[in-house]
Structure 1
Amino acid sequence: MKRTPLLAALAAAATLLAGCMGSAGTTPAADGPPVRGGNLTVAVPTDPQSLDMVANPGQVTAQIGNMMYEKLFEVDRHFVARPMLVDTYTTSPDRLAYTFKLRQDVTFQDGNPLTANDVVASLQRWQKSHRTGQLVTPDIAAITAPDQATVVIGLKRPRYPLIDELAGAGTEIYEAKNLVGLPATGFGQDKAVGTGPYKLKSWDIGQQLVLQRYDGYKSRSEEDWGGQAGAKHAYLDTVTYKVVGDQDALINGLQTGQWDHAMPANDQYEQLKANPNLVVHNLPGGNENVVIPNFNPGSKFADPRARQALNLLLDKPAINAATGGSKDLTIETGAFASPDNKASYSTAGESVYRQYDPARAKELLAEAGITTGATIHIVTTNSYPEFGKWAVLIQDALGKIGLQTKIDTFDFATMLGTLTKDPGGWDITTLFFDSSLTSPAQMPALTLGTLNGSSSPELDGLLAEFNASTTPEQAKAVIDKLQAFTWKQLSVITLSQSKLWAAYTPRLKGYGDFYRVFWNSWLAA
């Protein structure tokens, strides 16, 4: 299936990286001396379909890819960008030139050394084929390699969030030779080669994927950064990712020891938390749960009155209660950033989020020409159970005011393709977004224009104002404006923020409760 840059950005949003550490659990240092060897079995909800993080960075692709590939910068446990493939860097006084010196001991998993040409080729592909890269590109004059150890990014104008963006999805560094002449679907298994601590061993499509330690990996020395940054020891021989799409099978497998780690649906939280044979722990931050109305001609929500009506029709507390599992996991806020994400969290638009008036919603729909008996087309996925549940609850709300609903359910990748194949052929879709991002160019809630037609000169102006910021205070003031504007035009309707969590065997040690990052983990005897 052809993948567009926007689909890549939306899929990246479902990687669910977010916020700050949970308050429970043990630290890796408290787990005793590491044990080298063994296999960790991890249940994942869907096959990654591709290991190309630009062409198809869905949740599973991204989290497996993070074990294989690295960037110039990576985020630590607090989502601060830290050097990874960069040794040192400088910024010119006018903030128009960034000079990066690369680490000299880094090799790809085929033994070839990392060079500046590889970095330039990877970042130029990011500019062309990834939504964030496309939004950054107007500010970039050139990306060059003065020598094989140096990369220079020259800017046309200062760009406040550039380092954060270089630590974001799509900036993974690949060998330049493997990026030549790629189709839109990206590279195949034979070119899935990175500089990370694990490499691809085998892949039984739809069943399982196995990574094995890359013995030539040269680690950074920083032990305290955590997250995706710093030292990576690769204690495990292999990590096996089992595709388990059925939630009952997922839970049974956890309880019987078929897999060692999983990230189940929220409605399984209380059951697993009560199991003394499992560790259940919050992961960093959470995600923004959203309903997306379609602005494109042909959609019933192209009329702003219809979007206002949809917001008034959704009983958000009831929807959250029905689909959010434990109250420990749900934060009722209209923000598109986690409350733990201090740089981007805002309360702007909160009064619009709190609105609920089905009678007025029906009036507004009628004014927009949507009357009793009309059919609303919802597109959703069965890859993430919450999405389908939200769709059914929206269907119920629409039915109560006399509207019909057609729900089409696909796997995640097909759903994304369906949304762009016929821009005006759908009315509503459901997604969740990364709530930890500090650059608006990385935030799908602000960059959905090529999907649902919500672009506008006013939005573009606010994004430019953010990029021109020189202080965190200036940047935060623009975030407030951006969120207020989002709630004004209703490009997305946020239902809540959800905390993330995992359930895993007590034998898993050294795990920093950071999604599916296992390079510093081991299995106790």
Structure 2
Amino acid sequence: MHAFRILTRFAACLALLWTIPAGAQTLRMVAHSDLKVLDPIWTTAFITRNHGYMIYDVLFARDADLKIQPQMVDKYEVSADKLSWKFTLRDGLEWHDGQPVTAEDCVASIKRWGARDALGQQFMASVGDLKAVDAKTFTLTLKEPFGLVLDALGKPSSNVPFMMPKRVAETDPNKQIDDYTGSGPFIFKKDEWKPGEKVVYVKNAKYKPRAEPPSMLAGGKVVKVERLEWIAVSDPLTAVNALQQGEIDLVEIPVPDLFPVLKADKNIALFGWNAQGSQIIMRFNHLHPPFNNVKARQAAMYAIAQEDFLKAQVGDPEIYRVCNSPLVCGSPYEKSYGDLLVKPNFDKARQLLKESGYDGTPIVMMQATDLQSSNQLPPVAKQALERVGFKVDLQAMDWQTVVSRRAKKDAPDKGGWNIFFTTTVTVDADNPASNSFTSGACDKAWFGWPCDPEMEKLRAAYAREVDPDKQKQIAMAVQDRVMDQASYIVLGQYKAFGAYRKDRVSGWLPGPVPVMWNITKK
């Protein structure tokens, strides 16, 4: 019966693919999730972030050495005290509707991003004045030192400070945009977008790449295909079958269980495009019982053994890593917390749960069944939490429903939630300013809305500090606070691999996001 379902899905996938004209200038990819939310400032969902990189551009970007390089910016100047900045845009920047990109567009875009993003909020709190001087120039005046100006403007992953036209960027940050005009290397074909089936982009023929060679997210974004299609295939085996049959060209994130099948095919190559890796977390809703109580969160933490989750979700120990450092292992701020999250302490978990006053109300745990980076985590968590006395209502849904529902502050029995799972690239999690999960800014914090003034003091101090040694001391204190308050639970790290037809695709660049420019299709 299972095999029949797989074959049926495969046939449906091929039927969709066969309705699309073939050609060397069309690149087809199975993305990790279906795209339903189109505003990359409103949500941190990776599929929406990836969409953002297709159609928008950025002021600064990280290269393969993780150094921040100008992208839309031609040049910038900074005063000796680093409180005054002047940015000049490069020539030839144009929106998809033919209008020139202006400094006013960039100012409005920075402000909208700064209202949503954790690092952006820290950044904007230090800004005294941000204004356009002329069509190509804007200035930034800080009211206090902020050591992460370029880090903020060159933030590589969710949320990314994408530049949008002023009329779009002036949309309320808490509402989604409905105009998808960008200035990036691809143009979104809204008229061909079919949620649950496909997303279509075409080459922006008027895009002016930088002259430098491409390097991760920096340098020249040269598009070498005329059309790119994301095909929605939720079943991983169906996606791999389509790749083997030559009906698609890339699979963004095939499941590790299928790596042997892919390695055995001479026409297919596995590519570790995210060399820095990703971090998995379990997120609590701090607004509602039981996780508005720190002891309930601590109880959950002491019930966890990371490797149980990593084995279930990733499988291959060659590509995952047990790591209880909130600011990730392999970073300058790596810090070990002994057996916590490595070996569970069920007795302590039960005692903490009792002290929390938990009344036995089932907790709502959301499971994104179609998201291959986290769909196996909730059943493992359910078993661990129930072992120490929690009751768990595991609710299955697709990832885009999770994305929409996690933004709701309603009580869990009124359409809200208690727990969900997600991943982030390690380059976004390796310092307190860019790590959205560490924010304790109450209603301005990332989904889950922890309210922790002490944490916010630490994060603000980190952002203002310019001495690397003092920054490190603060970063260590931030991690101690995360673990003490059980703000969220780190479930380990893993490296993401894609798969592609090496007999007809080349030029896939490594990076923390799947980079679609520079790819050539034979």
> What is the Cα deviation at residue 402 of structure 1?
5.0
Tell me the alpha carbon deviations over residues 477-519 of structure 1, each in whole angstroms, 9 at most, x when there is no partner: 3222211211111111111011111111102111123342121
Query: Structure 2 vs 1, CA of residues 257 and 96 (structure 1 numbering), >3 Å: closer, same or farther?
Result: same
- Is 1:508 the counterpart of 2:495? The answer is no
Letter in 1 for 2:272: N
Q: Which residue of 1 aligns with 2:432?
A: 440
> What is the Cα deviation at residue 386 of structure 1?
4.5
Letter in 2 for 1:309: A
Aligned pair partner of 1:228 in 211, 217, 226: 217
Alignment of 1:67-466 (within 5 A): 67-168=54-155, 169-180=159-170, 184-188=174-178, 191-201=179-189, 202-223=192-213, 226-262=215-251, 263-284=253-274, 285-296=276-287, 298-340=288-330, 342-343=331-332, 345-370=333-358, 375-401=362-388, 403-425=390-412, 426-437=417-428, 439-447=431-439, 449-450=442-443, 451-466=447-462
| C-alpha separation in 2, matches of 1:181 and 1:302 | 32
Query: Matched residue of 1:388: which SS?
Result: coil
Unaligned runs of 5+ in 2: 1-22
Letter in 1 for 2:349: A
Q: Which residue of 2 aligns with 1:520?
A: 518
| C-alpha separation in 1, matches of 2:206 and 2:167 | 20
| C-alpha separation in 2, matches of 1:138 and 1:503 | 42
Query: Structure 2 vs 1, CA of residues 400 and 131 (structure 1 numbering), >3 Å: closer, same or farther?
Result: closer
Unaligned runs of 5+ in 1: 1-35
| C-alpha separation in 2, matches of 1:135 and 1:45 | 31
| C-alpha separation in 2, matches of 1:497 and 1:217 | 36
Tell me the alpha carbon deviations over residues 375-426 of structure 1, each in whole angstroms, 9 at most, x when there is no partner: 3331232231453321111222233345432112232233243334245524
Q: Which residue of 2 aligns with 1:11?
A: none
| C-alpha separation in 2, matches of 1:428 and 1:129 | 21
Query: Matched residue of 1:123: which SS?
Result: helix
Contact 2:224 2:519 in 1 (8 A): yes
> What is the Cα deviation at residue 338 of structure 1?
4.2
Letter in 2 for 1:217: Y
Tell me the alpha carbon deviations over residues 156-200 of structure 1, each in whole angstroms, 9 at most, x when there is no partner: 111111211111234111122344556844333xx3222222112
Tell me the alpha carbon deviations over residues 417-436 of structure 1, each in whole angstroms, 9 at most, x when there is no partner: 33342455243222222311
> What is the Cα deviation at residue 83 of structure 1?
0.3
Query: Structure 2 vs 1, CA of residues 128 and 400 (structure 1 numbering), >3 Å: closer, same or farther?
Result: closer
| C-alpha separation in 2, matches of 1:40 and 1:153 | 40
| C-alpha separation in 1, matches of 2:407 and 2:231 | 30
Query: Structure 2 vs 1, CA of residues 183 and 281 (structure 1 numbering), >3 Å: closer, same or farther?
Result: closer
Tell me the alpha carbon deviations over residues 67-107 of structure 1, each in whole angstroms, 9 at most, x when there is no partner: 22111101212332210011111111221111111102222
Query: Structure 2 vs 1, CA of residues 316 and 185 (structure 1 numbering), >3 Å: closer, same or farther?
Result: same
**Most deviating of 137-146 and 122-131:** 122-131
Q: Which residue of 1 aligns with 2:17?
A: none
Query: Structure 2 vs 1, CA of residues 273 and 358 (structure 1 numbering), >3 Å: closer, same or farther?
Result: farther
Which one scores higher on RCO, CA 8 angstroms, separation ≥ 6? 1
> What is the Cα deviation at residue 154 of structure 1?
1.1
Contact 2:280 2:493 in 1 (8 A): yes
| C-alpha separation in 2, matches of 1:383 and 1:142 | 44
Letter in 2 for 1:162: V
Letter in 2 for 1:289: I
| C-alpha separation in 2, matches of 1:52 and 1:326 | 34
Contact 2:327 2:479 in 1 (8 A): no
Contact 2:122 2:463 in 1 (8 A): no
Tell me the alpha carbon deviations over residues 449-474 of structure 1, each in whole angstroms, 9 at most, x when there is no partner: 44334221210111121012113333
Letter in 1 for 2:202: Q
| C-alpha separation in 1, matches of 2:505 and 2:162 | 28
Contact 1:391 1:407 in 2 (8 A): yes
Contact 1:388 1:409 in 2 (8 A): no
Contact 1:349 1:483 in 2 (8 A): no
| C-alpha separation in 2, matches of 1:54 and 1:158 | 26
| C-alpha separation in 2, matches of 1:429 and 1:157 | 37
| C-alpha separation in 2, matches of 1:442 and 1:477 | 17
Query: Matched residue of 2:99: which SS?
Result: coil
| C-alpha separation in 2, matches of 1:233 and 1:421 | 39
Query: Matched residue of 2:193: which SS?
Result: strand
| C-alpha separation in 1, matches of 2:44 and 2:418 | 25
Query: Matched residue of 1:387: which SS?
Result: coil
> What is the Cα deviation at residue 255 of structure 1?
1.9
| C-alpha separation in 2, matches of 1:336 and 1:413 | 26
| C-alpha separation in 2, matches of 1:81 and 1:363 | 48
Letter in 2 for 1:219: P
| C-alpha separation in 2, matches of 1:95 and 1:523 | 45
Query: Structure 2 vs 1, CA of residues 231 and 304 (structure 1 numbering), >3 Å: closer, same or farther?
Result: same
Give every structure 1 segment of 4 or more consecutive aligned residues whose post-TM-superposition deviation is greater than 6 Å: none
Aligned pair partner of 1:473 in 469, 474, 482: 469
**How many residues in Structure 1 have an aligned counterpart in Structure 2?**
482
| C-alpha separation in 1, matches of 2:467 and 2:388 | 48
Q: Which residue of 1 aligns with 2:484?
A: 488
